[in-house]
Structure 1
Amino acid sequence: MKKRIVTAFVLNQSGVLNRVTGLFTKRQFNIESITVGHTETEGVSRMTFVVYVEDDRQIEQLIKQLNKQIDVLKVSDITDQAIVARELALIKVLSNGQTRTEINGIIEPFRASVIDMSRDSVTVQVTGDTEKVEAMIELLKPYGIKEMARTGLTAFPRGTQKSVTELKQYTLFK
């Protein structure tokens, strides 16, 4: 199975997320992660999906099906491009006075931070690529992870690749 990162620009309207994810369900794709948020273009949102496929034919078919959706403006498989990709995780770890110093020592090289503290736990915030987040989680597991929330991957091409100007022009004509 190959990991693929797909972005879709969609109209920011009620029901779009449901219709798009329904298409994944019909095609029996399991969405590993999904992030959705506003873009710099008013009324347009970006969806970033991480999916696993058996071959390139499957991802091509998925992109064709997504492009047929009326609320979808543009779809791209950005896996093989130079991309900027980040994930956010909040991790609540069991801790006491003795282990807090150890936990701070662990999170410092990751440029993570403690964002909340109670008598028996600390909440750590870490951002970065998925491998960095996974490494942080593995190092904190021995202390006892009480709760965790992850955003999933969000990404777009680096530099001047696939200019957003194309999207602005595209939205006027679709």
Structure 2
Amino acid sequence: MLHTFVAHVSDKPGVLTRVASLFRRLNINIVSLTVGESERPEVSRMTIVCEAPDHAAHRIRASLYKLEITVDVDEVGRSEAVIRELCLIKVAAGPKTRSQIFELATVFKARVVDLAPESVMLEMTGAASKIEGLIQVLTESGYTILEVSRTGRMAMRRGHHTSRVLKALGTPHSDHSDETSFPEKPDADEILPNEFTGVHEDEA
């Protein structure tokens, strides 16, 4: 099954390589990995989607915490987080077929971001299933997809941070019970397996 982890890591050279190498050693397939700046200075935010058995989630978190560059790690699910993906799709299209593509874009709430004499580029933000749905409809409708670029999933927990928001607005608030709390950090001495049965290594 798919697991989505949000990890805050030190913004240093080689961090991405170390995280990717960790998953390779664990024989865990990374489906997507996005990284960028966070709200914290000198800390980057990673969203890692991987394919692993259900029981492996805790051990993956523990392995990430063993890296000294890791600040915190949280596993999020669809019901408790907003998960989105950005996709650019370039479709071969001449003057006679553009209008049909524009109609499909409207149905899927995609935007036309580039129009060339022989192609149309669409931008779509949403759940992975909706993006895959648009790609499937374009293909089944006989259009030639020239290029596809997807960011991979980005995730953020719903709600939380109430006291942070009020503090930023200058509103007194003494109740910090709604602050985001990450799951307890695993024991640093926990022994972790080198691989998980039934999970295929990422060949990419």
TM-score, normalised by the number of residues in structure 2 = 0.76
Higher helix share: 1
- Structure 2 counterpart SS, 1:132: helix
1:144 match? 144
Q: Which runs of 4+ in 1 moved over 6 A?
A: none
Residue pair 2:111, 2:124 contacting (<8 A) in 1 also: yes
Q: Does 1:158 align with 2:158?
A: yes
CA distance in structure 2 between the aligned counterparts of 1:27 and 1:112, rounded to whole angstroms: 38
Q: Does 1:40 align with 2:39?
A: yes
1:134 match? 132
**Runs of 5+ in structure 2 lacking a partner?**
162-177, 183-204
Q: Does 1:9 align with 2:4?
A: no
The 1:118–1:131 alpha-carbon spacing in structure 2 relative to 1, beyond 3 Å, is same
1:69 match? 67
CA distance in structure 2 between the aligned counterparts of 1:140 and 1:115, rounded to whole angstroms: 17
CA distance in structure 2 between the aligned counterparts of 1:8 and 1:163, rounded to whole angstroms: 17
Letter in 2 for 1:24: F
Q: How many residues align?
A: 164
Deviation, 1:52, is: 1.1
CA distance in structure 2 between the aligned counterparts of 1:34 and 1:118, rounded to whole angstroms: 31
CA distance in structure 2 between the aligned counterparts of 1:97 and 1:23, rounded to whole angstroms: 49
Residue pair 1:81, 1:157 contacting (<8 A) in 2 also: no
- Structure 2 counterpart SS, 1:50: strand
Deviation, 1:55, is: 2.8
CA distance in structure 2 between the aligned counterparts of 1:158 and 1:101, rounded to whole angstroms: 38
Higher strand share: 1
Q: Does 1:89 align with 2:87?
A: yes
Residue pair 2:29, 2:52 contacting (<8 A) in 1 also: no
Is the radius of gyration larger for structure 1 or structure 2? 2
TM-score, normalised by the number of residues in structure 1 = 0.89
The 1:80–1:118 alpha-carbon spacing in structure 2 relative to 1, beyond 3 Å, is closer
Residue pair 1:10, 1:71 contacting (<8 A) in 2 also: yes
Instruction: Say which of 112, 115, 119 aligns to 2:117.
Output: 119
Percent identity over paired residues: 35
Residue pair 2:2, 2:50 contacting (<8 A) in 1 also: yes
**Runs of 5+ in structure 1 lacking a partner?**
168-174
Letter in 1 for 2:147: E
Letter in 2 for 1:84: V
Deviation, 1:30, is: 0.9
